[in-house]
Structure 1
Amino acid sequence: MPMRDDWHTGARIREQRRLAHLTQRQLADQLPYSYSLLNQVECGAREASPALITAVATVLRIDTSLLTEAKTMTHLQRRRLAALMHPIRAAFDLFDLDPDRAAETAPLSELAATADAVCRQVRATRLRAAAEELPGLIVGLTHIVRTRPETEAWRALASAYRTAHDIALKVGYPDLAAVALDRMGWAAERACDPCLAAVRQYKRALARQESEELGHRLVRAGHALLAGETTREALAVAGQLHLGAVAVSARAGNHKAVAGHLEAARDLAAQVGGEAGDVHWLSFGRTNIDLHALGAQVRMRQWDEGLAQARAMRLPPSMLMSRRARYLVDRAVVEMETGHTTASLRHLVEARRLAPEQTRYLPGTRDAVSGLVHTMRRPPDGLTHLAAWIGL
């Protein structure tokens, strides 16, 4: 089954009709339009008129915007997110302003501990709690580096910006995520920390979806920063850079490059030994490599291989919740694409239970839910609730 890219109005009418448990004939019987016209609109052969859209929305008891806007969340969800992200954006603007020297701030040791704690919250998928902590954290650390700069302060500030990037990307604010990476680079350079700087290049590579060449250049730049470094930390970051290259190559459908970078990552994992969950919260190790291999199969539409990989995996209890949720969503996608709709829905429900804040915004969640709506003749209540939850 192909992934859905037909987000025309007719396709959205079809989805909303199925969520209402109506056949085309049943909906047409309640409209002042023919069954033939509805059929043509749903398949994209004819354009839906404003009057037809209004009539369908009235029968289905939904807002017309659900049929005319390609949304990944409701307007209420967007407003709440905007209110959450605005203070973070404002905190970013302080980086080059003269500090208020009379302002009081928490001790550096306390702020550094908070920087680590918010990073841990993101890995536990408590995105809202982390986002609420970030503005004050960034303001405090920015004040310190502008008044009495210390390496530890610069390192903590780089970590805070990295966390801001992760949150912004997860909730659909790519512009803010890009600014966060710029600020992370500014702080990491002053911290003189090659591993932090290399982690930034890894994040930049993942964000460059439009160009495989640029993504690989960023990965190579990250490896250059680590040249001559032989610590366990540097080896883990180098391995994670290879996993970034896996994602870059998979998006381009470059099977050979994917295989090569997975092999290089496995070689480095053997040198690191065990799961390096303590290294910049990257969780680099064999399990994370397997998760990236599964993600690559999803991106390259290798559904049968992905299904076998997903079903063979056994995640350790220590696996970070963010990684566990991503696995469940990727597995839901491959189960759906290979016709195992009940299993797919089960994994989506489990992902929502374990990590609701992250699962709602993962692109794979929308792909899987939409695919199930298209596939299941009469969507069960669980699917209907999931569709409403993500704003489908």
Structure 2
Amino acid sequence: MPASSTVLGLRLETARAVAHLSRRQLAEASGVSESMIQKVGDGRRIPSDQVLEALATALGTTPEELMDGPARTDSRVHQTIPELQRTIAVYDLPEDGPVRPLAQIAADVDAAVEDRVQSQYVRLGERAPALLGELFRAVDQARGREREEAARLLALAVRSADAVAYKYGYRDLSARLVELMRWAASMAGDPALTATAAYVRMETYFAARQLAPGLRSLRAAADRMPAPTTERLAAAAAALHMRAAVAAGRMRLADDARAHLREAAALAGRVRERLYDGTAVGPDSLEIHRLSVAVELGQEDDLQEAVAAASRWAPPRTLPAERRSHYYIDLARAQVHLGRPQHAAESLLVARQIAPLHVREHGQVRTELATMVRLTRGRDERVLALARWARAV
């Protein structure tokens, strides 16, 4: 999709910072007037093809990278996508083949969930097609309670596969996998799993920037939940409210975001911190979401308070790597908003140490790194190295 004038302007300014060129120097190197460069950089003008080519050449990049952004990272994960696509294409018409006892399959599903939450995307991508294929056969062949259990395992396995598609930018494939998860969860007849599917579905709304209908879907899912009479039901409801708080925060609905956080706090306080149907829920996960909501709302007092809180609390190492790294990503975002790019770089380095693949493929990381390059005028080598590693420049 072609860049908007605002996005193109930001990419031009980032590339100019990396090249250590003032607007006057870029004008001299490209032959484009300084006033035109200022208009493009400020997002007030989309340049002609000839102007874009001249600017890209002077900046040592390409028109395509200025318009579309840096190319995606080179990873073995991309090589696993075609087989995953072929496997799910025939989900309801699986070929005949062996199916192990469900207890044995369950062990592999648990391993896939662990790979997802620990950001082991290469291994997950390599193993997911065979696991899904076997589970499609299991659901097709089983009956009664055994079919419900096979469907439950399928929903969890599909969710793990979706992490690969979503993190690596295969949005159409991710949306298809989310629908498969909902299909499997409905067969399982499990309200907690159905709620988890609604939680995961919010990814589709985030990707499409359809926050209002996404928030409505989360609220509807929470309303459909039975009373939280078990720890698992309480955890599923808490997860819905935590995600709803983030969505409301991104919409700048401060009262709604805080109301959902309060609902989540009441529920999360009743459960032990652990994975429930693949979602980490508990008091520590709630603290991580508090920071996320503060960042999404973008109010300076909240950000100052969140950054100060980070000096007193850190996510325990018992939490999954993906969730811990997300905390430091959000901390970096808060620090960037407060004009502290060097502190943000330190936070991103911690996040990278915890879960490098998660950080490298995180869209918000690339956005923040590009901002950090501009704030430091391309002169902070640590920031530049991080930005190049994540393909943010």
1:94 matched residue in structure 2 = 90
- Corresponding residue SS for 1:283: strand
Aligned partner of 2:80 in structure 1 is 84
Deviations 1:286-325 (A, max 9, x none): 2211211211121121244124214314211212111111
1:258 aligns to what?
257
Structure 2: where are the runs of 5+ without partners? none
Shift of 1:190: 2.2
- The residue identity in structure 2 corresponding to 1:16 is A
Q: Whole-Å Cα distance in 2 between the matches of residues 75 and 203 of structure 1?
A: 23
* Structure 2 match to 1:334: 334
How do 1:140-289 and structure 2 match up within 5 A?
140-149=134-143, 150=146, 151-205=148-202, 207-209=204-206, 210-212=210-212, 215-224=215-224, 226-272=225-271, 274-275=272-273, 277-289=274-286
State how 1:1-392 maps to structure 2 within 5 Å: 6-8=6-8, 10-69=9-68, 71=69, 73-74=70-71, 77=74, 82-97=78-93, 99-101=94-96, 103-149=97-143, 150=146, 151-205=148-202, 207-209=204-206, 210-212=210-212, 215-224=215-224, 226-272=225-271, 274-275=272-273, 277-313=274-310, 314=313, 315-391=315-391, 392=393
The one-letter code sitting in structure 2 at the alignment partner of 1:258 is A
Give 1:197 shift: 1.2
**Contact 2:5/2:40 (8 A) holds in 1:** no
Cα deviation for residue 152 of structure 1 reads 2.8
Does the 8 Å CA contact 2:39/2:45 hold for their aligned counterparts?
A: yes
The TM-score normalised by the length of structure 2 is 0.88
CA distance in 2, matches of 1:254, 1:147: 47
1:158, 1:184 within 8 Å by CA — same for their partners in 2? Answer: yes
2:307 touches 2:335 (CA, 8 Å); kept in 1?
no
**Displacement, 1:342?**
0.7
Find the aligned partners of 2:214 and 2:41 in 1 and give their Cα distance: 39
Q: Flag the 1:310–1:207 CA change in 2: closer, same or farther, 3 A.
A: farther
For 1:21, what is the secondary structure of its paired residue?
A: coil
Q: Quick check: 1:206–1:244 contact (8 Å CA) kept in 2? A: no
CA contact under 8 A between 2:205 and 2:211: conserved in structure 1?
Answer: yes
Q: Structure 1 residue 117: deviation in Å? A: 0.7
Contact 1:243 1:265 in 2 (8 A): yes
**In structure 2, how many angstroms separate the alpha carbons of the residues matched to 1:270 and 1:37?**
56
Mapped contact 2:6–2:44 kept (Cα < 8 A): no
1-side partners of 2:44 and 2:212: how far apart?
35
State the one-letter code of the partner of 1:39: Q
Among the aligned pairs, what percent are the same residue? 28
Contact 2:32–2:55 at 8 Å: present in 1 too?
no
Equivalent-residue separation in structure 1 for 2:204 and 2:293 (angstroms) = 15
- The alpha-carbon distance between structure 1 residues 177 and 44, as it changes in their structure 2 partners (threshold 3 A), is closer
Cα separation, 1, equivalents of 2:307 and 2:357 = 23
Confirm or deny: 8 A CA contact 2:307 2:331 kept in the other structure. yes
1:235-278 alpha-carbon deviations (Å, 9 max, x no partner): 11111121122123223222222222211211112222x31x13
CA–CA separation in structure 2 for the residues paired with 1:228 and 1:46: 55
SS in 2 for 1:278: strand
CA distances 1:1-53 after superposition (whole Å, capped 9, x unpaired): xxx98212x43222112112222233333333444443343334444333333
The code of the aligned residue for 2:19 comes to: A
**Alpha-carbon spacing, 1:206–1:45, altered in 2? closer, same or farther (3 Å):** closer
* 1:323 partner amino acid: R
Q: Say whether the 8 Å CA contact 2:218–2:240 is kept in structure 1.
A: no
Pairwise CA RMSD: 2.5
Letter in 1 for 2:62: D
Normalising by structure 1, what TM-score? 0.88
- The 8 Å contact of residues 198 and 217 in structure 2, kept in 1 or not, is answered as no
